[in-house]
Structure 1
Amino acid sequence: MDRSELLDRHVAAFNHGVRTGDYEPMLAGFTDDAELIFEGPPVGPYRGREAIRAGYAAAPPDDTLRTLDRAVAEDRITARYAWDAEPDQDAGVMIFELDGDRIRRLTVRFGP
């Protein structure tokens, strides 16, 4: 799978979860032992798909997002993002560390 496509699939699944409350399509993109780390807000880190699921159930995001730019490598994707409520304002960066076509670790940094 093209790495850029993996990022687009993750963002679409995240946005679907925000709109519907169904995060299962997004969670399917993580390895079973994946890590989700937030730098900024006082949540997480979450280790394992079940912990990520519980984290999203306890504190669901309230806005969808879009990518502003991306750097794609074989096992890593870095993408700046914006919240759709403020589509032109840089909100932070997502760093995806990959295992094949799944996310092994996702670090989400808040702030430009």
Structure 2
Amino acid sequence: MTLIDTHTHLDFPDFDADRQTLMANCRAVGVERAVVLGVHQRNWQRVWDLVQSDASLFAAFGLHPLYLDEHLLDHVEELGDWLTRLKGHPQLCAVGEFGLDYFVETLD
């Protein structure tokens, strides 16, 4: 059975020190692929650089509601540009993250 982790933030700096070990541990328990989610415009390049370094990683670019204060209207257009430019690339797999984090009561 092929296991795929469909929701990771492996690009976050929290994983810089042990990212390779973490990914090796995932593979050891059967997780063969992972989707790395872009949550705001300033991390899309970091996500893309990471997935390009490993054929088992896939990118999903988006604008998460938790970062509404950081998003600009231009970012929506830029997201479209990223998706158009990378259309058909085997490591671009989705549009996301859009987030349904209902735990933030003030987030509508």
Q: Same fold (TM over 0.5)?
A: no
Q: Which protein has the larger Cα radius of gyration, Structure 1 or Structure 2?
A: 2
Structure with higher strand content: 1
Structure with higher helix content: 2
Query: TM-score under structure 2 normalisation?
Result: 0.24
Query: TM-score under structure 1 normalisation?
Result: 0.23
